[in-house]
Amino acid sequence: MTISGDKPIVAVTGASRGIGHAIVRHFWKQEWDVITMARTPFSDQCPWADGIIKHIMVDLSDPASIEQACNNLMDMLGGRGLNALVNNAGISPKADNGERLGVMQTSPETMHHVQQVNLVAPMMLSQKLIGPLKETKGAIVNVSSIAAHRVHQFAGSAYAISKAGLSTFTRELAHELGETGVRVNAVAPGEIKTSILSPGTDEMVEEDVPMRRLGNPEEVAEVVYFLCGPHASYVTGSEIHINGGQHI
């Protein structure tokens, strides 16, 4: 399937639920063509998008799968440029009892797996898709986390380490690509109302979030959209906290 027309095009990873799903819907409502990338068939998770969203199945833990997915995406572009890449997918493994995994409880295999999905995969996607991104002087937005900047009572150490790396990766890549016109930024959500919230989140929000409420996925999507669009044309190497003031 080749994308036709002249709408701007965005590729989003981890797009079938939560923040990723909200990002997809927001770009679609703004009349962008959307390419989703996830392990599962997208339309099974989101019936409204069947026939509208272009989907590529990819296992971000497998470098060979990432390479094939990028080839498929290039074929889908049909020689057109890519206006934005949103690296949203991420995993945060828990202990068997559902509690966070600290450094001392994290196996090397788990650490490597989380880094591959959360950090190495965004790097590979950025490298493979830089050609079409340069054509449009497009944007890369990485979805980091408040856990990149402070110890979080629910997010495990492997996840936090990967997100801290993603924040640094954002700065490094923005510096490298500055002259090309490709902008690279990040967002760092805090406690967002999704299906994967941990028990005890409401109490933490009351204690730690100055705005005393959870964020909505749409509030993250709107900032991501801003960073991908022309109103952020002089913004690169930045990270925007989306957490109701939790980081302060």
Residue with tokens 């002259």: 179
The Cα–Cα gap between 62 and 43 comes to 23
Q: Strand runs (DSSP E) across 125-200, as ranges?
A: 139-143, 183-189
The one catalytic residue in 32, 42, 159, 169 is 159
Q: Is 225 a catalytic residue?
A: no
Say if CB 109 and CB 141 are below 8 A apart: no
The Cα–Cα gap between 93 and 78 comes to 37
What tokens does 73 get? 């995406």
Tally of helices (H runs) and strands (E runs) in the chain: 9, 7
The H-or-E segment that residue 10 falls in is: strand 9-13
Say if CB 100 and CB 156 are below 8 A apart: yes
Q: Can you spell out the DSSP letters for 53-85?
A: SEEEE--TT-HHHHHHHHHHHHHHHTT----EE
Sheet strands side by side (includes 33-38): 54-57, 33-38, 9-13, 84-87, 139-143, 183-189, 239-242
Active site residues: 159
